[in-house]
Amino acid sequence: MPKNSPVNSSPDDLAVWDHKWGYADTKFVVNADKSVTLTGNRYSLCGYRMKQFIPYVESMLQVKLDLDDIKPEYGQPVVPASSINEMFCAAIKNKFTEDQYSFDDKVRLIHSHGQTSADEVYKVIYESISRVVDMVYFCQSEEDAQTIISLAKEHDVCLVPYGGGTSVSNALQLPANETRMIVSVDMLRMNKIEWIDKENFRACVQAGITGKKLEELLGEEGFMSGHEPDSIEFSTLGGWIATNASGMKKNRYGNIEQIIQSLTMITTEGTLSQLDTTPRMSMGMQPQHLLLGNEGNIGLITKAVIKIHKLPQVQKYGSIVFPDFESGVKFLYKLTHEGQPPSSIRLVDNVQFRFGLALKPEPKFLASILDKIKKFYLLKIKKFDPLKLAATTLVMEGTAIEVSQQEKSAYSIAKQFGGIPGGSENGRRGYLLTYCIAYIRDFLAGFHVIGETFETSVPWDKIHDVCRAVTEMVAKKHQEFNLPAKSYISYRITQTYHTGVCIYFMYGFYAKGISSPEKIFSKIEHELRQTILNNGGSISHHHGVGKLRMGFMKDILSPASIEMLKNLKRATDPNNIFGIQNNIFADQQSDA
């Protein structure tokens, strides 16, 4: 079976690619006229010809793409034979039916990586990965979780929790020095809402549920969680907790640490849980707070009690164009501290603004006239520089009154900084574009372009320092590694806080003719992360540490803090059954 074929264990309309991102009916393709189309009908970008897509990429990278020169994929992967713990496997076969475990090579390979571009996806598609899980176990209940953990402890088997497989921090990359049998514990079958407390706005939800299914099931009862990460279609509640995740609408609904009221984790030494759930509790140190961001090192998250909200009466999109990125930042600052921020607000730089334009369909006659009028107004009347202007997208939710207040607040403050309304349709398209970015990554990889996104949080006064330093370091490393053409670097602010913001970077380069481009990419990404830290940014905002950034942890936590967390690991998992070795729990591994 071809490496990039869809996984068919789901209904046809839900099938996903083996190793690339997303649904099997969705991919970017080049048409005869060199325009680009996104297949399927899942996203707003689907079904029309994007004539400016390729010219935009060529302009940014300063290279002419050969659309007939497709980078060959690795072909049929050679998956190493399973390392079998005979006693453990015999116990598994005795306890469970055959549909709850698999030794199939394809299933094992899928569960042996996440979605980190260079270190995982690029290698599995264009090269190979050497360490693969030996068995995949499909957990269906808390009793199953307790049993598989008990058996692993008894027979000294390593367990790796697996949710949606969307990790971009190498958190699912298997330790090269692990000699025990490794079993991936797939939690996706634990995907039910156990109960909904409508009066107190709470729900108890199993950890394997995806964000998409969670919102569908809550929506049937008139509620929502409001947690909406870019990966909502595929990532799981357990994964959100394990990475300390953030969503695009955190302004209204909070990040995962504000959404979770209590959680249950099964460890080798017993169950970690808070037996009572109230709005807030002063009970001394709360163990569940230490489990947020555990990255698979402690145990299996099986369920959580979460806050829920009634579905909004009104949802409205909007957009604002600013003369430059700096004006947009000033607008965000004042809106955050003096206005009424909408559920989501994002500011893109000029490079990403132009990318959004490149992905638009060719306008029809009347629309083209209106576009020309808008451009004339922006460029000739308002004197906006087309190579400097930036834009925000807005999502406003709530009651009609709340949405009206959010809208008035945003547009009145924007006017103070030269902002001009850009229309609701542009806001909608800009917001929904985020779901397609990983598809774009995989499409361009076929044309020898390797790229990825990475994020950080920074104080307000460090925004421009960090963006400038990263841009300069990209240029420096491009020259140092003698890369062809020009590297791509752009950024957007995706979340705002009282004390700062989250910045998302998009980085990539043309790799044709470059030996081991994935290794070069990893080295440069490491340098860019160091640059971010040197200029006041964080190790991550919501992607986590995994193995990609573990080398920076000594600069983030004091030695005593690290030792405290290691002692927690020793107490809850003394035999290191959960031996994925993420974050500070690595054994002499380096991310350099």
Beta bridge partners of 16: 7, 23
What secondary structure does DSSP assign to 504-523, as a single string?
EEEEEEE-TT-SSHHHHHHH
Longest dimension (CA), the chain: 78
Rounded Cα gap, residues 20 and 122, in angstroms: 9
∠ CA 402-403-405, rounded to 5°: 65
Collapsing DSSP to helix, strand or coil, 173 comes out as: coil
Stretch (H or E) spanning 367: helix 365-376
Query: H helices within 41-85, ranges in order?
Result: 53-61
Give the tokens for residue 360.
């638009």
Give the total residue count for the chain.
Answer: 592
Q: State how far the Cα of 145 lies from the Cα of 185, in Å rounded to an integer.
A: 9
57-60 contacts at long range (C-beta below 8 A, 24 or more positions apart): 57/444, 57/449, 60/351, 60/486, 60/488
Distance CA 140, CA 100 (A): 8
Helix-helix angle 424-432:350-358, to 10 degrees = 100
- CB-based contacts of 162, cutoff 8 Å, min separation 6: 111, 136, 172, 184, 185, 186, 187
- Count of CA atoms in the C-beta half-sphere (13 A) of 322: 25
What is the C-alpha to C-alpha distance for residues 439 and 38, in angstroms, rounded to an integer? 9
Strand (E) or helix (H) holding 194: strand 193-197
| Cα separation, 510 vs 483, whole angstroms | 8
Note whether 136 and 111 are within 8 A (CB). Answer: yes
Tokens of 157: 């088997």
376, burial (CB in 10 Å: exposed 0-12, middle 13-18, buried 19+) = exposed
Question: Is the CB of residue 38 less than 8 Å from the CB of residue 47?
Answer: yes
Q: What is the CA radius of gyration of the chain?
A: 24
**Identity of the residue numbered 185:** V
Annotated active-site residue 333? The verdict is no
User: In angstroms, rounded to a whole number, what is the distance separating the alpha carbons of residues 441 and 178?
Assistant: 31
H or E element, residue 563? helix 559-572
- 266 in the Ramachandran plot: left (φ > 0), alpha (ψ -120 to 50) or beta? beta
Instruction: Out of 439, 488, 504, 507, pick the active-site residue.
Output: 504
Q: How many other CB atoms are there within 10 angstroms of residue 361's CB atom?
A: 14
CB 215, CB 193: distance < 8 Å: no
* CB neighbour burial string for 184-194, b if at least 16 within 10 angstroms, e if fewer: bbbbbebbebe
Cross-strand partners of 37: 29
Chain centroid to Cα 235, Å, comes to: 8
Q: Which three-class secondary structure state does DSSP give residue 449?
A: strand
Q: Return the active site residues.
A: 504
